[in-house]
Structure 1
Amino acid sequence: MYSISQRANAVLAFLVTVTLGFLVAVALTSPILLHGKGLRPAPGQNVLKIVDAESHKARLAFYDRTQNQSGDSELAIIRFDISADLRDLWNWNTKQLFVYVVAEYETDSHSTNQVVIWDSIIRNKDDALIRLRNVKGEYFLVDINPTLSTVSAKFTLHWNIIPYVGALFWNSGGQTPILALPAPR
């Protein structure tokens, strides 16, 4: 005859197996639900527009002064508009969305530079309809090189889909034309 502890162990093992099977099924069905919705944005659905860009000279505390004797660097402050409908990305397995704006540019020393200038975490479907006007970037556009006025950058809206269970998904949309950053004031 089986003891109570053996029967409890069998029931618990069965429940753990069923739960893991359910989680695997959820993880495998999420890409199917998202395919064609959020992985490929509809044309004109997500729009990012740069309103203003201004540059300033500043002494940055974290900057390596061995390359720049004066210690002054240029930083850019970007203002932009975002119009994006990311509600289609939401399903029963979506925990949150991480939305961010990236500036991408080339310099003499590096062929690709990417800097995040704004980000937001969206925790429910109602907030996934983004309509922002004349928003100042949360982070300055700063480079290891002391001058940014010679740089032309393109700005892109990106998002990461963070599920409860399964793989992370990311995509982008709403790319701007290349913008030449102004000389500092």
Structure 2
Amino acid sequence: MHSFGYRANAVLTFAVTILAVMCAMASLSDTLNVPSPSADVKVLNVNWFQKQPNGHDEVSLALNISADLQWMFTWNTKQVFVFVAAEYETPQNSLNQGSNLRGKDFNLTLHWHVMPKTGKMSADKIVMAGYHLPEEYR
């Protein structure tokens, strides 16, 4: 007959194996999830637009954000991080997210990062073009 320690080891090994298989199945099931997000961002008002002492521009915008991100929330979703960034081009850089915004055309980009309970973290974005900041600081 086997000892208690041997039996406990066998049960624990079996339980960990089943848990690993379930985690693998959960991770694989998320790869079958077809993303179909939609978002619309409208700039309602430029509250203020000023130059900071360190030389960077600061703008406060009132935004109306309407986004359907329902597809992200599956039974394997732990957390979702969503943020909006202003992005624009200059002759030096193809992607900027900071200073020298005065008079620039810019895109608002909705970024998201989905952290699953098990499996690979995913990230994506939606770019919405056609926004413009004033030539003068307010």
Give the TM-score normalised by structure 1. Answer: 0.65
Aligned residue in 2 for 1:49: 42
Structure 1 residue 9: deviation in Å?
A: 0.7
1:43-81 residue CA offsets vs partner (Å, 9 max, x unmatched): xx4211122234212213xxxxxxxxxxx4432222211
Paired residue type of 1:40 = S
Q: Aligned residues, how many? A: 137
Measure the CA separation in 1 of the matches of 2:62 and 2:3: 70
Structure 1 residue 174: deviation in Å?
A: 6.3
Give the TM-score normalised by structure 2. Answer: 0.84
5+ residue gaps, structure 1? 61-71, 115-141
Percent of aligned positions that are identical = 32
Q: CA RMSD in A?
A: 2.0
Structure 1 residue 184: deviation in Å?
A: 1.0
1:33-112 alignment runs, 5 A limit: 34-35=33-34, 39-41=35-37, 45-53=38-46, 54-60=48-54, 72-112=55-95
Aligned residue in 2 for 1:24: 24
Aligned residue in 2 for 1:153: 106
Which is further off, 48-57 or 1-10?
48-57
Q: Is the 8 A contact 1:50 1:81 kept in 2?
A: yes
Aligned residue in 2 for 1:113: 96
Q: Is the 8 A contact 2:107 2:127 kept in 1?
A: no
What secondary structure sits across from 1:84 in the alignment?
strand
5+ residue gaps, structure 2? none
